[in-house]
Structure 1
Amino acid sequence: MLAKIYQPAKSAMQSGQGKTKTWVLEFVPASARWIDPLMGWTGSGDMNSQVTLRFPTREEAVEYAQRYGIPFEIMEPKKRTPVVRQNGYGDNFAFNRRTAWTH
């Protein structure tokens, strides 16, 4: 019943950093999923794969796992490098713009 503790990445459908500040504790699947032959649904006998716990800090997630004796591994987040371009799209709306904006 190994758990992984990580900070989720930004969704491709959002431009902001929402839901990326929290830490998540998820259990690694213990068994493979199978497909039901009649309905085609995916099934599993592992109920822990449905559990997702969110914590404000990494230390709280680690403390929770240690308190309940859950073996875990921590996946460090890869920090996103900001893309700042000179005369980019944001400069069209700059306060100190000298000329009127035109298409």
Structure 2
Amino acid sequence: MPARIVQLQKNAMQSGKANAGRWVLEFESGRKKVPDPLTGWAGGAETREQVRLHFPTLEAAQAYAAKNGLDAHVVPASQPKLKIQAYADNFR
């Protein structure tokens, strides 16, 4: 089953970086999601995609994937875009 390894980013709603930098292994679904006729929510029959494994380093996540025969790929983290401006720019 395919999996992806991503690095957690800082939460946009908080200023702290408590969990930033940790690595997460997430399983990808091999089946198409179908909408529920009653609620309209998209769902599938696989429960593996609900599992998220946390690792302190990228090497630990890759070692776990190799040990268990998972086809894991690393998703690069996006770089934050900073908008540098002075306080006086708010009044122009």
Report the TM range for the smaller structure's normalisation. Answer: 0.7 to 0.9
Q: Secondary structure at the match of 2:5?
A: strand
Structure 1 equivalent of residue 6 of structure 2: 6
Instruction: Describe the shift of the 1:40–1:64 C-alpha distance in structure 2 as closer, same or farther (beyond 3 A).
Output: same
Q: TM-score by structure 2 length?
A: 0.76
* Alignment length (residue pairs): 87
Instruction: Describe the shift of the 1:85–1:26 C-alpha distance in structure 2 as closer, same or farther (beyond 3 A).
Output: same
Task: Please report the RMSD computed on the Cα atoms of aligned residues, expressed in angstroms.
Answer: 2.3
Q: CA deviation at 1:80?
A: 3.9
Structure 2 equivalent of residue 17 of structure 1: 17
Unmatched 5+ residue regions in structure 2? 88-92
Instruction: Describe the shift of the 1:38–1:56 C-alpha distance in structure 2 as closer, same or farther (beyond 3 A).
Output: same
Q: TM-score by structure 1 length?
A: 0.69
Q: Work out the CA distance in 2 between the residues paired with 1:76 and 1:4.
A: 10
Unmatched 5+ residue regions in structure 1? 89-103
Structure 2 equivalent of residue 52 of structure 1: 52
Instruction: Give the letter for the 1:64 counterpart.
Output: Y
Q: Work out the CA distance in 2 between the residues paired with 1:77 and 1:43.
A: 27
Structure 1 segment 61-72 matched on structure 2, within 5 A: 61-72=61-72
Instruction: Give the letter for the 2:15 counterpart.
Output: S
Instruction: Give the letter for the 1:68 counterpart.
Output: N
Q: Work out the CA distance in 1 between the residues paired with 2:82 and 2:34.
A: 41
